[in-house]
Structure 1
Amino acid sequence: MLAGCSVDAELEEDTASAVEKPEVEETEEEPVERTPEEHMDDALDVYDRLMTELYALEKSKIG
């Protein structure tokens, strides 16, 4: 029984060393310039999606 435990411990150690996290380089992204129209389009898309979901929810309560 103890021999099996030592094999498990060795396997865990080998697995832990083999699964090292790769180093991730941090890069600075330049901010994207957006026009007021683009912001408004995004806001209208969100509004439309929310109103559609609200309408569907209200319709399911009634029906």
Structure 2
Amino acid sequence: MRVQADPAEFAGKRVLVSGGTKGLGRATVERFLAGGARVITAARVTRDPIDGAEYVEAA
């Protein structure tokens, strides 16, 4: 089941997601972006970046 995101639901919000490149973390990043949030996520390797998300390299 897919829920239609309200593009202004998270407008003006900033979100930090740990481990946002795979699985549940990636889905969380995509959902916040769809809702208008600015998203920063940490990743060890960024093979398939998500448009609109900012990445911080995690060692």
Which structure has the larger Rg? 1
**Shorter-chain TM-score: what band?**
under 0.3
Give me the TM-score of the superposition, normalised by structure 1.
0.24
Considering fraction of residues, name the structure with more helix.
Answer: 1
Give me the TM-score of the superposition, normalised by structure 2.
0.25
